[in-house]
Amino acid sequence: MIEVVVGCGVVAGVVSTLAGQGGGLLALLALSAAIGPREALVLTAPGLAIANVHRAWIFRASIDRAVVRRMFAPIVVASLVAGVLAVKAPPALLKALLVFATALAMAKALGWARFQVSPRWLAPVGAGIGSFGAMSGGAGLMLVPVLVSVGLGGEALIATSQTLALALNAGRLVGYTAGGSMTRPLVAMAAVMTIALLAGNAVGIRLRRKLREESLKRIELATMCAATALVALGAR
């Protein structure tokens, strides 16, 4: 089990740093197949939050503070409330949300799903993203297109998305803890995954400097294909 957690953490860190999204969902699906969706959501929250801090700090000069001011608080509140509810949700519902998140990811990667959001709607959209992310782990698939629709790209997109993803992962972590899901074994495994995620971040940062934009888009598509395969194989 340790090997699975380490592998998932490294891959999630590399992919999220290269493409700005997708790594967390891929890790969540793989872990869901091993330990169940509720436990996978809880296990990934601490490491992803710390990995978000790491990436946001590295690209901090590019954070769009106006967007963060509008979306940060709604995401935190919504993810906290949804995190408490996710603890009590039936596994079948969590699995259905994972499948939906993966389908959304594939549609976005193929260019079938597009988002256009007016800046005035960023706060309520942030609340919706926070709720969905706390119960499915797929918030980045909605967050990144929303940020692109208001003009963000490149390092500004990565920096801002990671800052807002921190809000979501921190909020859902508090929610899971309040719901009593952070058991000692899961805390220990979460610590291992955090180290693996940070290692993956470091590798991803080095690779990003050497890759072209076209290669990064291929990585995103490959990630979504892998996520779809995991769902098809029966992530439970």
Query: What would the 3-class secondary structure string for 66-106 be?
Result: HHHHHHHHHHHHHHHHHHHHHHHCCHHHHHHHHHHHHHHHH
Nearest-CA neighbor of 15 among 140, 143, 190, 110? Answer: 140
pLDDT value of residue 115: 62
How many domains are contained in the chain? Answer: 1
Q: What is the DSSP string of 197-217?
A: HHHHHHHHHHHHTT--HHHHH
What whole-number distance in Å separates Cα of residue 101 and Cα of residue 85? 18
What whole-number distance in Å separates Cα of residue 129 and Cα of residue 48? 16
- 155 burial class (0-12, 13-18, 19+ CB within 10 angstroms)? middle
pLDDT value of residue 67: 93
DSSP state letter for 180:
T
pLDDT of 218 over the 60 cut: yes
Query: Under DSSP, is residue 113 helix (H, G, I), strand (E, B) or coil?
Result: coil
pLDDT value of residue 236: 43
Which residues constitute the domain of residue 82? 2-232
Contact indicator for 71, 164 with CB cutoff of 8 Å: yes
Structure confidence by residue, pLDDT tens digits, 43-76: 888 888 888 888 889 889 999 999 999 999 999 9
- 206 burial class (0-12, 13-18, 19+ CB within 10 angstroms)? exposed
Structure confidence by residue, pLDDT tens digits, 165-186: 899 888 888 888 887 777 888 8
The two structure tokens encoding residue 69: 């001011």
DSSP state letter for 21:
S
Q: Across residues 200-216, what is the average pLDDT?
A: 80
In single-letter form, the type of residue at position 51 comes to A
The two structure tokens encoding residue 152: 């963000």
Backbone angles phi, psi at 64, to 5 degrees: -85, 100
> pLDDT over 90 for what percent of the chain?
13
In single-letter form, the type of residue at position 91 comes to P
Query: Under DSSP, is residue 49 helix (H, G, I), strand (E, B) or coil?
Result: helix
pLDDT value of residue 235: 45
Q: Across residues 148-158, what is the average pLDDT?
A: 82
| Residue of 146 and 106 predicted with greater confidence | 146
pLDDT value of residue 232: 54
Structure confidence by residue, pLDDT tens digits, 89-113: 666 665 676 666 666 656 665 666 6
pLDDT value of residue 220: 65
pLDDT of 83 over the 80 cut: yes
pLDDT of 231 over the 60 cut: no
